[in-house]
Amino acid sequence: MENIYPLLGDKFPQISVSTTQGMKTIPDDYIGKWLVFFSHPGDFTPVCTTEFIEFAMHIDNFNNLNTALIGLSIDQNTSHIKWLEWIKIKTKIEIPFPLIEDPLGNISRKLGMISPAKGSNTVRSVFIIDDKGIIRSIFIYPQEIGRNINEIIRTIKSLQLSDNYQVVIPANWPYNSLIGDKVLLRPPTNIDDAKTRMEKVQMEGYTCYDWWFCFKSLS
């Protein structure tokens, strides 16, 4: 059965969009980079304004993670442009990433970014898309609560570490109450691996509570 909306592990559906920085094709234009594709309820609204400023203030963190940003709402580009101009004039913060116009809501509905019970505007959806165009994480926040930008950055960094080192990441990393900033070895998938796990991991610098719970520092 075909998914109604894209899910984790799916290729992000190809869409051509009109943005404040010209036409974009997603994910093709961003292959080789990670991408945060997010929706906001509306221009000239207070919570969205604080979110965009936070995204802009953290742009170096995203750049260091080879990650681009692109926003979307059902507003037209004329509204987007005026809002971005207002932000720059009033706060001295320039928004460096493009915004997508979606006045008919076609893109938003395709991606599940409109929840009818929450009104006709987009909710605060976030798709984290990797450098191959695969959806790696999805967040959905209601209109009344602004996003935690640091958590989005933490998620991207965690996913990249998991890919690069074949490890998994503990809760609240890098401030886990039990193992701090250490990362976890992926659990064994068969009996033979489980039997030899303790011997192997000691040679690789892991510490283990048991054969299924091993961890080490990457620093």
Active site residues: 48
CA-CA-CA-CA torsion sign (61, 171, 219, 157) = negative
Angstrom CA distances, 96 to 53, 66, 126, stand at 10, 15, 18
